[in-house]
């Protein structure tokens, strides 16, 4: 990673190269960029990869990736989508539907923190109805007080979709976790058993729990904001990622 920034801070926890200075002066100083090859050459490989992704999603429809695909269909009819933090952004980029364009998308992916994501969504869309936020469970719990402003912003057809997989599952995919003690791994993943229905009651939101693709039949936006608690099938998710790892090797 090579960062160009005005303050000399790369914003990353890992080592990177840093060039300090105004962007409009540093980039020209780097010289002419190498010409890009024809981007159309990438379509052959991308088409094959897309077909394999579709196969996996059909095999594991109630996995985390499968439910992200389902959510993306519903969110595409809204007036905007906000993504946070790392895992929802990655999974949206990989598995969201692409047949219906979603033009109004924002994301907040913090390098060393997950605070304030719900607040960011509510501030960005304060005057817009029918917007969606797709957040992780820990991200939502870190900003659990944010929905107090729902009575002050446009709330009709607003949806907060939370991927409740009982902790920071993104860390389970790190090879380093396998070498940690059970206690250290627990501190890293922060497992929990929180029932988000209580959060919906606290902030007067309609609560809908989604465990399978068929459960989306319950969903219907209305005047009250909706808290969509999405609980992926753990075994399908494990098998999905195992097959995914074999696919991308």
Residue-wise pLDDT for 142-177, tens only, equals 999 999 999 999 999 999 999 999 887 777 777 777
Of 76, 88, 68, 91, give the one whose Cα is nearest residue 132: 76
CA 2 to chain centre: 25
Judge contact between 175 and 148, C-beta under 8 A: no
Is the pLDDT at 21 greater than 70, yes or no? Answer: yes
Return the pLDDT at 215.
97
The torsion of the CA quartet 69, 136, 209, 121, rounded to 10 degrees, works out to: -90
Q: What is the pTM of this model?
A: 0.82
pLDDT higher at 188 or 28? 28
Return the pLDDT at 31.
87
Q: How confident is the model at residue 13 (pLDDT cuts 50, 70, 90)?
A: confident
**In the chain, pLDDT over 70 holds for what percent of residues?**
98
Q: Of the segments 88-97, 100-109, 111-120, 185-194, which one has the largest average pLDDT value?
A: 88-97
Judge contact between 208 and 226, C-beta under 8 A: yes
pLDDT higher at 134 or 85? 134
- What is the mean pLDDT of the segment spanning 42-70? 91
């Amino acid at each position: 990673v090579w960062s160009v920034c005005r303050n000399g801070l790369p914003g990353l926890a890992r080592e990177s190269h840093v060039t300090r200075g105004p962007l409009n002066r540093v980039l020209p100083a780097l010289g002419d960029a190498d010409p890009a090859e024809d981007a159309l050459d990438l379509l052959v490989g991308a088409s094959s990869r897309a077909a394999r992704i579709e196969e996996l999603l059909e095999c594991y429809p109630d996995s985390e990736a499968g439910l992200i695909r389902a959510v993306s269909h519903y969110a595409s009819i809204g007036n905007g989508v906000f993504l946070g933090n790392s895992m929802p952004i990655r999974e949206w980029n990989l598995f969201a539907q692409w047949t219906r364009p979603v033009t109004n998308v924002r994301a907040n992916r913090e390098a060393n923190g997950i605070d304030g994501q719900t607040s960011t969504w509510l501030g960005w869309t304060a005057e817009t109805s029918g917007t969606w936020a797709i957040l992780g469970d820990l991200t939502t719990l870190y900003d659990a007080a944010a929905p107090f402003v729902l009575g002050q912003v446009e709330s009709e057809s607003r949806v907060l979709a939370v991927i409740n997989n009982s902790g920071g599952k993104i860390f389970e995919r790190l090879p380093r976790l396998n070498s940690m003690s059970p206690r250290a791994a627990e501190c890293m993943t922060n497992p929990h058993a929180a029932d988000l229905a209580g959060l919906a009651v606290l902030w007067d939101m309609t609560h809908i729990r989604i465990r399978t693709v068929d459960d989306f039949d319950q969903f219907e936006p209305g005047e009250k904001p909706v808290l969509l608690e999405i609980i992926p099938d753990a075994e399908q998710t494990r098998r999905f990622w195992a097959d995914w790892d074999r696919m991308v090797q």
